[in-house]
A and B are shown apart, each in its own frame.
Chain A
Amino acid sequence: MNYFNTIETALRALRAQQKAMQVTGHNVANANTEGYSRQRAIQTATRPYAYPGMNMPAGAGQVGTGVEVSQIERVRDQFIDGQIREEAQSLGYWEQRYQGLHRMELIFNEPSDTSLSFVFNEFWKSLEDLSVYPEDTATRATVRQRALNLVDGFHSLDDQLVDYKRALNEDVKTTVEEINSLARRIADLNEQIVNVETTGQKANDLMDQRDLLFERLSKLVNVRGSVDGENNLSVTLGGSTLISYGEVHELETVPSGNAEDAVIFKGTSVAVNATGGKLHGLLELRDKEIDDYIGKLDDLASRLITAFNNSHNSGYGLDGSTGIDFFRGSDAATIDITDEIKDPVDGLNRIAAAKDVDGDGTPDIPGDGSNALDLAEVVRESKLFSSNTASFMDYYQSMISTLGVEGQRADQMVANQNVLVDQLKNQRNSISGVSLDEEMANIVKFQQAYNAAAKMISRSDQMLETLLSII
């Protein structure tokens, strides 16, 4: 029996329990830290050795030499992390898409009494009134005013959509900045982690931080990562390398066209192939959805202009004028009333409500409102759209309902993805989260072990004293 060996063993135990206590303290301290995974001090028995005896080379069994903390590991399931990143990517995309579609719904503001469909119906009503009172100046003035309201309605929708497109372009730039910044921080952490790990230690907290940043990055854009033997995280974006060890291939936006900055890898001409995450949602809204709706508005405006002018041209104004266009322009941004009709003196009289009903070569003014009826028909009934199967209102309504259906789908997808991500995070929390109960129990456990080890030293000391007092 070696007293000093016993004291040494007890000392190791003190150190090990102390270290375990320290890890517990770290866990308690980080109970609410985002991305933190609880750590465990792995205690292992130190190497035993055979005890040489008087008449045998080795004594009974092997004598243990105590305990040490061989490793401090973090409790984490990398597979769940991968799933969360994947679902977060999808969540990022749908959240952005829903936000965009919802914004467009607010722009169109249907159904309401301030929407395009409302001013459009008002315009139709004024034309019907004109057919009844073609000789009345006030009725004519109403037609012109309602037409101006319709024109304003088109302009305002077009302006707001174009503005939103610009705002989205700014969002794209900010998102690209954010991606770069996250990528740089991940690369920095890569370097630090590899440095730590090569010394044989575990870079638990740094890896927690890196996982958190990588998860944030996944919500922004479709990134994939792989970790090599040195615990170095490489990230690719749509097949191209974004982060390799401490190096980042940053993204940048370059102006191309009107409010549609292209996203490329800096210093190259390689376009970023965004197929997921917030960036994908932004680009899709900016380059596809908004253009789609502006295109449909343009279609509405241009066909209305042509068909309305056709009818208007063949009619006669109160002053006998004929062949005059009512609208000018070619799309939602340029539609307007012609100067002939805007004319403060003769404009109203030029609104062509009459025809030559009896075919005697002279217009049947002022009482004839039959051309006004034709104009009203163009506005309400004529099948000008979708290969002559839909009236203006049919087309517009189907456009709004498409927007609604898409928005509803995005809303549901956001809800679904949230449920998925929440469940996965719950799972992760269940594995990696700090439980204060557990930690408190551990404190008691480690404290008791510490106390016992300390007792061990004092008893050994007493034993040694007993021995020494004999002398």
Chain B
Amino acid sequence: MRITSGVMIDNMMRYLQKNMAKLDKLNQQLASGKQFQVPSENPTGAATTMSIKDAITGSEQYIRNIERSSEWLSNNESALDNAGKILQRARELAVYASNETLASEDKDAIALEIDQLREELMNIANTKVGDRYLFSGMKTDTRPFSESGSLAAGVDFNGDSNSLEREIGPGIKIGVSVDGYSIFKDGIDTLQALSEQIKNDTPATVGGVTINDTQDAIGFLDTIININLKQRASIGAKVNRLELAKSRLEDQKFQSEKLLAKNEDIDITKVITDLKMQETVYRASLAVGARIMQPTLVDFLA
């Protein structure tokens, strides 16, 4: 092949250009920390990045849902815990009141305390977290329990029995409501009936709960305390399930983030090494270029 200085210079320029392009790519990678900037540089990588990011978004949101559900459930739990203590105290008072030898002042005092306990139970039944009532089902803006004003009717329940549902994974839902009616409606009415019975020493009926003597009350309270315990056990189980789901999601998220980093982040050591090598190559090609621009015969002819 006949080589002219034009051919050599063209070739040199081309190789310089190629080496510059490689340097530029490595520089971009270093500056952005990413292996590719646009999908065409690595279509599979870009698609993978998008779907991993999608998965991370999902995990993050479900974790957020779980955290809020756990918080809601633990609010329920502590309310039920307090309700349990009140019911327990009421049961103790009922046992105490069943003592035949009790003076009437003492009975009055017991009745008074039971009235106070009822008030407190009412407060707990109407617990509000943020601007939402815990025990009114889906009618979260409605105060669930209110005084009806009539002994026969007992306390009014204004909520519903629907359970709030939370999504903790794609299509996986969990109910986070406690049926307040069975604990609080019966509990409050029982306490009121008990107080009436002790005050007047006659059978009392409040909201469908009839108490002939303190033994009746103890029986009813035991049932309610039992229901309360079951509810709390169920909440505990749910919180456990949420914890498990959360740690699984966090694990997934961690794995996804690792994958994402592997997929698109540069290996800095490698890129810097490559860059150094490329710089050397570029310098070499410049040096070669300087040599290629050889003197011609012109320089030697007088």
Residues of A bordering B, CB below 8 Å: 31-32, 101-102, 105-106, 110-111, 117, 121, 124-125, 128-129, 131-132, 135-136, 354, 357-358, 364-370, 373, 376-377, 380-381, 393, 397-398, 400-401, 403-408, 410-411, 422, 425-427, 429-431, 433-438, 440-441, 443-444
Contact = CB atoms under 8 A, between A and B. Distances in A.
Given A366-B139, A434-B4, A132 B166 contact: yes
26 contacts: A31-B6, A102-B40, A105-B38, A131-B167, A364-B138, A364-B162, A365-B139, A367-B137, A367-B139, A369-B165, A370-B165, A397-B54, A398-B47, A400-B46, A400-B47, A403-B40, A404-B42, A404-B46, A405-B43, A407-B38, A408-B41, A408-B42, A433-B7, A434-B4, A436-B4, A437-B5
Interface in B135-176: 136-141, 160-162, 164-167, 170-171, 173
B148 to A, nearest CB: 22
Interface in B1-57: 1-7, 10-11, 14, 38-44, 46-47, 49-51, 53-54, 57
B39 A437 contact: no
B296 interface: yes
Contacts of B44: 401
Contacts of A431: 2
Of B1, B69, B138, the most chain A CB neighbours within 10 A belong to B138
A135 B138 CA distance: 10
B297 interface: yes
Contacts of B38: 102, 105-106, 404, 407
Contacts of A124: 57, 61
A426 B297 contact: no
Contacts of B64: 125, 128-129
B287 interface: no
Interface string B108-123: 0000000000000000
B140 A373 contact: no
Contacts of A117: 50, 53-54
A305 B21 CA distance: 45
B301 interface: yes
Nearest to A358: B162
A430 B4 contact: yes
B74 interface: no
Contact of B170 (A135, A380, A436, A438): A380
Contacts of A354: 138
A349 to B, nearest CB: 12
A132 B176 CA distance: 11
B7 A411 contact: no
Contacts of A357: 138, 162
A402 to B, nearest CB: 8
A444 B162 contact: no
B236 interface: no
Given A381-B171, A429-B10, A393 B54 contact: yes
A404 B167 contact: no
A257 to B, nearest CB: 29
A366 B41 contact: no
Nearest to A441: B297
Given A367-B139, A367-B164, A401-B44, A430 B7 contact: yes
B141 to A, nearest CB: 5
Interface in B246-276: none
Contacts of B283: none
B230 interface: no
Of B11, B64, B165, the most chain A CB neighbours within 10 A belong to B165
B70 to A, nearest CB: 12
For the complex, would chain A's binding face be called helix, strand, loop or mixed by DSSP majority? helix
Given A111-B49, A358-B162, A404-B39, A135 B131 contact: yes
A105 B141 CA distance: 49
Contact of A433 (B4, B140, B298): B4
Of A125, A427, A434, A443, the most chain B CB neighbours within 10 A belong to A125
B40 A404 contact: yes
Contact of A435 (B2, B65, B139, B167): B2
B64 to A, nearest CB: 8
Contacts of B47: 397-398, 400-401, 404
B89 interface: no
B289 interface: no
A36 to B, nearest CB: 10
Given A110-B46, A407-B38, A368 B2 contact: no
B6 A429 contact: yes
B171 A125 contact: no
B6 A434 contact: yes
A430 B164 contact: no
A354 B136 CA distance: 16
A121 B39 CA distance: 19
Nearest to A404: B39
B43 A408 contact: yes
A437 B50 contact: no
A175 B298 CA distance: 43
Given A125-B61, A373-B165, A380-B170, A429 B160 contact: no
Nearest to B159: A367
B176 to A, nearest CB: 10
Given A32-B6, A128-B62, A408-B39, 7 more contacts: A102-B40, A136-B131, A367-B164, A400-B46, A405-B43, A426-B7, A435-B2
B109 to A, nearest CB: 41
B17 to A, nearest CB: 10
B7 A436 contact: no
Contacts of B10: 422, 425-426, 429
Contact of B14 (A102, A422, A440, A443): A422
B141 A135 contact: yes
Contacts of B43: 401, 404-405, 407-408
Contacts of A135: 131-132, 140-141
Contacts of B164: 367-369
B68 interface: yes
